[in-house]
Amino acid sequence: MNEKNNSICLLSDVDNVESFLKSLFGSSSSKIKKYFSKKILNRSLKKGALLELPFEFSNDGLINPAYVGPAISIIEEKGPFLAFDKPHNLFIHPLHYNESNNCLSFFRSIKRFDLLKVNEGHYDRGLLYRLDYETSGVVIYVKDNLVYHKLRDDFATIAKEKIYHCWVAGLEIKEGTHLHSFSHAEAKGKRVVVGDPHQYEVQGELSLRVLKKDLEKKQSLVEVKLKTGLRHQIRAQLAFLGNPLIGDEFYGGPKAQRLYLHAHKYHIVHEGKDYLFESTPSEFNGL
C-alpha cells in the first residue's frame, strides 16, 4: 500500500475488472465508476497481476478523522437528538473520504463513533437537515437509526419553526409573509432564479420581521421564519426583494468578512414532545 492506493495481487484470472470489484467488495456500479475509467473496468487481468485500488475507493463511505476546522460547540443532547452549533465557512458533511473540513469529521475526531453509525454508508449520516457552507447555526443530528429514517421522511411535518437571523442591505424591509416561485433543479454553482408566484415550478415561502436597524450603515437585522426549505432560499428571496444579505456577493450583497446568515432556532415535535434548540452568535448583535 502507498499513500494513494491499495494493491491486490490476483489469485486467478479476471475476465472483467468491474465484475471482480462487485464480487469482492459488493460495490455498486455507480460507486465503481466514480473511481475507475471504463477502459480499466473492461480490462481482463491474469493470475498474479496487481490491481491498484484508489485509497478513496477503499474508504468510500467512511468519515475522515483528520478534522480541519474550528471546534464545534454542542448545544444540547436531548432524547434521540444532538444539537450543535455549526461554524460558518465549514461544510456540513463530506462528499468523499478525503474531505476533512466538515462537521462529521469533527465528531469522528472527538471519537463520537456512536453518531456515525446512524445511516451508515451515507455521507450525511444522521443529519436531519443541511446548512450551506457559508451559513452558521443550529443543526440537529439524530442519534438513533430508526428515529432518523422515520423523521427524515417526515421532516416537513415535525418541523414547527425554522427561524434564521440575517443582516441585509437596506433599511426598507417588506415585513410579513412572502411567497415566490423558484426555478427547478438549478445547476451547482449557479444562482437560484426567483420569480413571482407560479412563474416557476417550485414555491418557496417565508416571513420577515425587522429586529434592529443600523442607520449609519443602512443595514437591517432581520428575523426570517422559513416555511419551506429550498436551496439558497433565504439568500435568493431576500435579494429578489431588494435586500441582499451582507457578505453575499453571489446574490449582489455587499462584501463582508462572512455571509451574515445564521440558523437561530429550530423547534421540532417528536412523539408528542417539543424539542427547541437555539443559538445566537455574538456577531449578530451588531456589525
Query: What is the sign, positive or negative, of the torsion defined by CA atoms of 178, 283, 107, 232?
Result: positive
pLDDT in tens, 9-34: 666 766 777 787 777 666 778 778 87
Average pLDDT over residues 214-221: 96
Query: According to the model, what pLDDT value does residue 186 have?
Result: 60
Query: According to the model, what pLDDT value does residue 145 have?
Result: 95
For the chain, give the percent of residues with pLDDT over 90: 66
Q: What's the distance, CA 49 to chain centroid?
A: 41
Give the homologous superfamily in CATH for domain 61-153. Pseudouridine synthase (3.30.2350.10)
Query: According to the model, what pLDDT value does residue 183 have?
Result: 86
Amino acid at 205: E
pTM for the structure as a whole:
0.84
How many residues are there in the chain?
Answer: 287
Overall CATH class of domain 160-287:
alpha beta
| 24 three-class SS | helix
The domain limits of the chain are 5-58, 61-153, 160-287
> Given this chain, do its domains 61-153 and 160-287 carry the same CATH topology?
yes
Query: According to the model, what pLDDT value does residue 281 have?
Result: 76
pLDDT in tens, 70-88: 999 999 999 999 999 999 9
| 229 three-class SS | coil
pLDDT band at 2 (very low <50, low <70, confident <90, very high): very low
DSSP notation for 38-83: HHHHT--B-TT-EEEEEHHHHTTTPPPS---S---EEEEEETTEEE
Tell me the C-alpha distance between 201 and 104, whole Å: 33
pLDDT in tens, 91-125: 999 998 999 999 999 999 999 999 999 999 899 99
